[in-house]
């Protein structure tokens, strides 16, 4: 069975500071990893994915994530946070290309001015 853990319910950061949203995963096969962002009463927007290749993945809106196989982690990062980045962030994993997605519980990111 596959699973995702987002250990933080909420992350608070000041605008202009770097941010990290943590994610660890568990799959039996090859992990396909995703980050999505959700604004209030909206669907999910895709940020980035890791399938294979370079461990550092760059995505939308200046976000990036680093795949660490030994630590089974896929933390989301951004060098300089914006107030508009405040939203709910979900990490998701799929065991291979065609299985179903399993989501973490979500982490609320609050960026203060």
Partner 1 sequence: GAVVSQHPSRVICKSGTSVKIECRSLDFQATTMFWYRQFPKKSLMLMATSNEGSKATYEQGVEKDKFLINHASLTLSTLTVTSAHPEDSSFYICSARDSGIREFFGPGTRLTVL
Residue ranges that bind partner 1, judged by CB under 8 A: 32, 36, 41-46, 49, 51, 90, 97, 100-106, 108
Task: Give whichever of 13 and 34 is closer to partner 1, judged by the CB atom.
Answer: 34
State the minimum distance, in angstroms, from the CB of residue 1 to partner 1: 12
Shortest distance in whole angstroms from residue 22 CB to partner 1: 15
Residue nearer to partner 1 on the CB measure, 45 or 80: 45
Interacting residues of 82 by C-beta distance below 8 A, sequence separation 6+:
15, 111
Q: Quick check: 111 and 19 in contact, CB under 8 A? A: yes
What residues contact residue 87 under an 8 Å CB cut-off, 6+ apart?
Answer: 37, 38, 39, 108, 109
CB closer to partner 1 out of 58 and 105: 105
The answer to whether the CB of 19 falls within 8 A of the CB of 13 is yes
């Amino acid at each position: 069975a596959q699973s995702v853990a987002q250990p933080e319910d909420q992350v608070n950061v000041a605008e202009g500071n770097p941010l990290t949203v943590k994610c660890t995963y568990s799959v039996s096969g090859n992990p396909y990893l995703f980050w999505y962002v959700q604004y209030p009463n909206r669907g999910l927007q895709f940020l980035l994915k890791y399938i294979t290749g370079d461990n550092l993945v760059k995505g939308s809106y200046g976000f990036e994530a680093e795949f660490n196989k030994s630590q089974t982690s896929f933390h989301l990062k951004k060098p300089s946070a914006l107030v508009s980045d405040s939203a709910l962030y979900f990490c998701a994993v799929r065991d291979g290309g065609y299985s179903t997605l399993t989501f973490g519980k979500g982490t609320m990111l609050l960026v203060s001015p």
